[in-house]
Amino acid sequence: MIEFFIFMYAILGMFVVAAMQRNQRQQRPTPQMMTMVGWGLFSLSSTLAMLLGAVAVAMVLGLQPQLPAGFDAPLF
């Protein structure tokens, strides 16, 4: 399921960037909805980067994060 969300995120990101570049090339204003979707993708990326960075720092410091029930994959 995670692969589907990553795929959709990539498709949406490429669409937003391509549309904004096309509008800039044609010297047209970018629609507000396109700008808001771009900011949403940026916010999602920044939030995930901060969360995963915090998990990495915690693991370096020796803390073991709690795994969800039924998740038996070893971390190392």
64-76, pLDDT tens digit by residue? 877 677 776 665 5
What is the arithmetic mean of pLDDT over 45-71?
87
The per-residue pLDDT for 73 is 63
Per the confidence metrics, is the pTM higher than 0.85? Answer: no
Give the burial string for 43-68 (b: 16+ CB within 10 Å, else e): eeeeeeeeeeeeeeeeeeeeeeeeee
pLDDT single digits (tens) 12-39: 999 999 999 999 999 999 999 999 999 9
By 3-state DSSP, what share of the chain in percent is helix, strand and coil, each rounded to 5? 70, 0, 30
